[in-house]
Amino acid sequence: MADSTPPEIKPSLSERDKELIGRHKTVKEEYAPGTKRGQEWAEMTPVSLKTAEEIAETIIFANILPAPLNPQDVLVLVSLSSNVGINERVLAEKLGNSYKVIAGDVADVQRLPSGATPMRFDASFLPFKENSIAAMTDFQGAIWHEAFEDLTKGYNQKTEADNLIDIFARLKPSLREGGVIIVDDPEHFLLAMIGTTSKIDQILTLTGEKIEGFEVSTIGEGNRRLRVYKKVT
Protein backbone atom coordinates (compact mmCIF):
# COMPACT_ATOMS: atom_id res chain seq x y z
CA MET A 1 0.00 0.00 0.00
CA ALA A 2 1.38 3.39 -0.97
CA ASP A 3 2.02 5.87 1.82
CA SER A 4 2.19 9.61 1.29
CA THR A 5 4.40 11.33 3.84
CA PRO A 6 3.67 14.87 5.04
CA PRO A 7 6.53 17.37 4.93
CA GLU A 8 8.94 17.59 7.83
CA ILE A 9 8.46 20.37 10.37
CA LYS A 10 10.84 23.11 9.26
CA PRO A 11 11.14 26.76 10.37
CA SER A 12 10.07 27.94 6.91
CA LEU A 13 6.66 26.29 7.17
CA SER A 14 3.59 28.19 8.32
CA GLU A 15 2.37 27.62 11.87
CA ARG A 16 -0.75 25.99 10.45
CA ASP A 17 1.30 23.46 8.48
CA LYS A 18 3.36 22.69 11.56
CA GLU A 19 0.15 22.02 13.51
CA LEU A 20 -1.23 19.77 10.79
CA ILE A 21 2.00 17.78 10.49
CA GLY A 22 1.90 17.17 14.23
CA ARG A 23 -1.72 16.12 14.00
CA HIS A 24 -0.93 13.81 11.09
CA LYS A 25 1.54 11.95 13.28
CA THR A 26 -0.89 11.90 16.20
CA VAL A 27 -3.68 10.41 14.08
CA LYS A 28 -1.37 7.77 12.61
CA GLU A 29 -0.30 6.78 16.11
CA GLU A 30 -3.93 6.56 17.31
CA TYR A 31 -4.90 4.32 14.37
CA ALA A 32 -1.70 2.23 14.32
CA PRO A 33 -2.04 -1.59 14.29
CA GLY A 34 -2.45 -2.93 17.81
CA THR A 35 -4.06 0.20 19.25
CA LYS A 36 -7.65 0.15 20.50
CA ARG A 37 -8.81 2.70 17.91
CA GLY A 38 -6.88 0.93 15.17
CA GLN A 39 -8.56 -2.37 16.05
CA GLU A 40 -12.02 -0.80 16.13
CA TRP A 41 -11.35 0.95 12.81
CA ALA A 42 -10.11 -2.21 11.12
CA GLU A 43 -13.20 -4.16 12.21
CA MET A 44 -15.75 -1.45 11.46
CA THR A 45 -18.17 -1.85 8.57
CA PRO A 46 -19.52 1.69 7.98
CA VAL A 47 -22.33 0.70 5.59
CA SER A 48 -24.03 -2.42 4.32
CA LEU A 49 -23.36 -3.64 0.81
CA LYS A 50 -26.93 -2.68 -0.13
CA THR A 51 -26.44 0.88 1.13
CA ALA A 52 -23.09 1.14 -0.66
CA GLU A 53 -24.78 0.11 -3.91
CA GLU A 54 -27.55 2.67 -3.39
CA ILE A 55 -24.98 5.42 -2.70
CA ALA A 56 -23.00 4.53 -5.83
CA GLU A 57 -26.15 4.50 -7.96
CA THR A 58 -27.23 7.86 -6.54
CA ILE A 59 -23.85 9.39 -7.47
CA ILE A 60 -23.89 7.93 -10.98
CA PHE A 61 -27.51 8.59 -11.90
CA ALA A 62 -27.46 12.17 -10.54
CA ASN A 63 -24.98 12.95 -13.34
CA ILE A 64 -22.79 15.05 -11.04
CA LEU A 65 -19.45 13.45 -11.88
CA PRO A 66 -17.40 15.55 -14.33
CA ALA A 67 -16.95 14.33 -17.88
CA PRO A 68 -13.45 14.12 -19.41
CA LEU A 69 -12.09 17.34 -20.88
CA ASN A 70 -10.28 15.28 -23.51
CA PRO A 71 -11.13 11.79 -24.83
CA GLN A 72 -7.79 10.39 -23.60
CA ASP A 73 -8.22 11.69 -20.03
CA VAL A 74 -8.31 9.18 -17.18
CA LEU A 75 -10.76 10.56 -14.63
CA VAL A 76 -9.91 9.97 -10.97
CA LEU A 77 -12.21 9.70 -7.95
CA VAL A 78 -10.49 9.77 -4.57
CA SER A 79 -12.07 8.54 -1.34
CA LEU A 80 -10.48 10.51 1.50
CA SER A 81 -11.40 8.08 4.29
CA SER A 82 -12.22 4.67 2.87
CA ASN A 83 -11.88 2.50 6.00
CA VAL A 84 -12.44 -1.10 4.84
CA GLY A 85 -13.38 0.04 1.34
CA ILE A 86 -16.98 -1.09 0.80
CA ASN A 87 -18.13 2.17 -0.81
CA GLU A 88 -14.97 2.29 -2.91
CA ARG A 89 -15.26 -1.32 -4.09
CA VAL A 90 -18.84 -0.76 -5.25
CA LEU A 91 -18.04 2.59 -6.89
CA ALA A 92 -15.14 1.03 -8.78
CA GLU A 93 -17.37 -1.81 -9.99
CA LYS A 94 -20.21 0.44 -11.11
CA LEU A 95 -18.04 3.16 -12.71
CA GLY A 96 -16.06 0.58 -14.64
CA ASN A 97 -13.44 2.04 -16.97
CA SER A 98 -14.92 5.55 -16.85
CA TYR A 99 -13.12 6.39 -13.58
CA LYS A 100 -10.09 5.25 -11.61
CA VAL A 101 -11.14 4.96 -7.95
CA ILE A 102 -8.50 5.52 -5.26
CA ALA A 103 -9.34 4.17 -1.80
CA GLY A 104 -7.35 6.44 0.50
CA ASP A 105 -7.09 6.60 4.27
CA VAL A 106 -4.72 7.82 6.99
CA ALA A 107 -5.02 4.42 8.70
CA ASP A 108 -3.22 1.35 7.40
CA VAL A 109 -6.10 -1.12 7.40
CA GLN A 110 -6.79 -4.25 5.38
CA ARG A 111 -9.24 -3.41 2.63
CA LEU A 112 -11.69 -5.65 0.86
CA PRO A 113 -10.51 -6.99 -2.52
CA SER A 114 -11.71 -4.58 -5.17
CA GLY A 115 -10.95 -2.69 -8.35
CA ALA A 116 -10.16 0.40 -6.27
CA THR A 117 -6.51 1.39 -5.77
CA PRO A 118 -5.56 1.47 -2.05
CA MET A 119 -3.39 4.38 -0.92
CA ARG A 120 -2.42 5.73 2.48
CA PHE A 121 -2.41 9.51 2.91
CA ASP A 122 -3.67 12.36 5.08
CA ALA A 123 -6.40 14.52 3.54
CA SER A 124 -4.53 17.63 4.70
CA PHE A 125 -1.55 16.62 2.52
CA LEU A 126 -3.00 15.13 -0.65
CA PRO A 127 -0.28 13.59 -2.84
CA PHE A 128 -1.90 14.74 -6.09
CA LYS A 129 -1.10 17.50 -8.59
CA GLU A 130 -3.24 20.60 -8.82
CA ASN A 131 -6.38 20.27 -10.98
CA SER A 132 -5.86 16.51 -11.33
CA ILE A 133 -8.82 15.02 -9.44
CA ALA A 134 -12.36 14.96 -10.85
CA ALA A 135 -14.18 13.88 -7.68
CA MET A 136 -13.65 13.18 -4.00
CA THR A 137 -15.89 11.29 -1.59
CA ASP A 138 -15.82 11.32 2.22
CA PHE A 139 -18.36 9.54 4.39
CA GLN A 140 -17.91 10.44 8.07
CA GLY A 141 -14.17 10.61 7.51
CA ALA A 142 -11.54 13.36 7.29
CA ILE A 143 -13.98 16.23 6.75
CA TRP A 144 -16.21 14.93 9.54
CA HIS A 145 -13.25 14.87 11.95
CA GLU A 146 -12.46 18.50 11.11
CA ALA A 147 -16.06 19.46 11.86
CA PHE A 148 -16.24 17.38 15.03
CA GLU A 149 -14.29 17.74 18.24
CA ASP A 150 -13.15 14.11 18.38
CA LEU A 151 -9.60 14.55 17.07
CA THR A 152 -9.40 18.34 16.94
CA LYS A 153 -10.39 19.54 20.42
CA GLY A 154 -7.34 20.24 22.52
CA TYR A 155 -4.87 19.50 19.72
CA ASN A 156 -4.50 23.05 18.45
CA GLN A 157 -6.16 26.37 19.20
CA LYS A 158 -8.29 26.36 16.06
CA THR A 159 -12.05 26.05 16.27
CA GLU A 160 -13.99 23.38 14.38
CA ALA A 161 -15.04 26.07 11.90
CA ASP A 162 -11.38 26.99 11.28
CA ASN A 163 -10.51 23.34 10.73
CA LEU A 164 -13.49 22.75 8.45
CA ILE A 165 -12.81 25.75 6.22
CA ASP A 166 -9.13 24.88 6.19
CA ILE A 167 -9.61 21.32 4.92
CA PHE A 168 -11.89 22.45 2.08
CA ALA A 169 -9.24 25.03 1.13
CA ARG A 170 -6.57 22.30 1.12
CA LEU A 171 -8.66 19.86 -0.91
CA LYS A 172 -9.72 22.43 -3.47
CA PRO A 173 -6.42 22.86 -5.40
CA SER A 174 -6.31 19.15 -6.32
CA LEU A 175 -9.81 19.35 -7.81
CA ARG A 176 -10.12 20.18 -11.49
CA GLU A 177 -12.58 22.85 -12.65
CA GLY A 178 -16.09 21.55 -12.00
CA GLY A 179 -14.75 18.83 -9.72
CA VAL A 180 -16.93 17.69 -6.83
CA ILE A 181 -16.58 16.73 -3.18
CA ILE A 182 -19.37 14.37 -2.06
CA VAL A 183 -20.18 13.80 1.63
CA ASP A 184 -22.84 11.88 3.55
CA ASP A 185 -26.16 13.53 4.40
CA PRO A 186 -28.42 10.67 5.61
CA GLU A 187 -31.97 11.33 6.77
CA HIS A 188 -32.73 8.15 8.71
CA PHE A 189 -29.38 6.50 9.45
CA LEU A 190 -28.79 5.92 13.18
CA LEU A 191 -25.98 8.50 13.25
CA ALA A 192 -27.69 11.03 10.96
CA MET A 193 -27.58 13.78 13.58
CA ILE A 194 -23.79 13.57 13.70
CA GLY A 195 -23.31 12.90 10.00
CA THR A 196 -20.87 15.00 8.00
CA THR A 197 -23.41 17.38 6.50
CA SER A 198 -25.18 17.88 9.83
CA LYS A 199 -21.89 18.81 11.51
CA ILE A 200 -20.90 21.15 8.67
CA ASP A 201 -24.24 22.98 8.75
CA GLN A 202 -24.30 23.19 12.54
CA ILE A 203 -20.84 24.73 12.77
CA LEU A 204 -21.28 27.17 9.89
CA THR A 205 -24.65 28.30 11.27
CA LEU A 206 -23.17 28.88 14.74
CA THR A 207 -20.18 30.84 13.45
CA GLY A 208 -21.65 32.57 10.40
CA GLU A 209 -18.66 31.31 8.39
CA LYS A 210 -18.79 30.12 4.76
CA ILE A 211 -16.93 27.60 2.64
CA GLU A 212 -15.79 29.62 -0.34
CA GLY A 213 -15.44 28.54 -3.95
CA PHE A 214 -18.07 25.80 -4.08
CA GLU A 215 -21.62 25.48 -5.39
CA VAL A 216 -23.65 23.33 -2.99
CA SER A 217 -26.46 20.90 -3.84
CA THR A 218 -28.18 17.80 -2.46
CA ILE A 219 -28.89 14.53 -4.25
CA GLY A 220 -30.68 11.34 -3.25
CA GLU A 221 -32.93 10.69 -0.29
CA GLY A 222 -33.10 8.62 2.88
CA ASN A 223 -29.87 6.86 3.79
CA ARG A 224 -28.42 7.61 0.37
CA ARG A 225 -28.94 11.37 0.52
CA LEU A 226 -25.65 13.15 -0.23
CA ARG A 227 -24.29 16.70 -0.17
CA VAL A 228 -22.31 17.81 -3.24
CA TYR A 229 -19.74 20.62 -3.25
CA LYS A 230 -18.85 21.59 -6.83
CA LYS A 231 -15.71 23.67 -7.39
CA VAL A 232 -16.63 26.89 -9.17
CA THR A 233 -13.68 29.22 -8.47
According to the model, what pLDDT value does residue 95 have? 94
According to the model, what pLDDT value does residue 85 have? 85
The range of the structural domain enclosing residue 175 comes to: 2-231
How many domains in the chain?
A: 1
**Listed residue (135, 132, 136, 137) closest to 73, CA to CA:** 132
- What predicted TM-score, i.e. pTM, was given to this entire model? 0.85
pLDDT one-digit tens code per residue, 135-194: 999 998 889 888 775 444 544 555 677 788 889 999 999 999 999 999 999 886 555 567
According to the model, what pLDDT value does residue 10 have? 66
**Listed residue (92, 90, 120) closest to 104, CA to CA:** 120
CA distance 92 to 86: 10
Amino acid letter at 102?
A: I
Q: Could you tell me the pLDDT band of residue 74, with boundaries at 50, 70 and 90?
A: confident
Contact 54, 224 (CB under 8 A): yes
pLDDT one-digit tens code per residue, 88-100: 999 999 999 999 9
According to the model, what pLDDT value does residue 152 have? 47
Q: Residues 42-65: what's their mean pLDDT?
A: 85
pLDDT one-digit tens code per residue, 199-233: 898 888 888 888 999 999 999 998 889 999 999 98
pLDDT one-digit tens code per residue, 20-29: 777 777 777 7
CA distance 85 to 185: 19
Mean pLDDT over the full length of the chain? 82
CATH code: domain of residue 142:
3.40.50.150
CA distance 80 to 187: 22
Q: Is 108 exposed, middle or buried (0-12, 13-18, 19+ CB in 10 A)?
A: middle
Contact 114, 86 (CB under 8 A): no
Q: Residues 67-81: what's their mean pLDDT?
A: 89
Q: How far is CA 118 from CA 28, 96, 121, 226, in A?
A: 16, 16, 10, 23
Beta-strand pair 76-79/100-105: parallel
According to the model, what pLDDT value does residue 155 have? 47
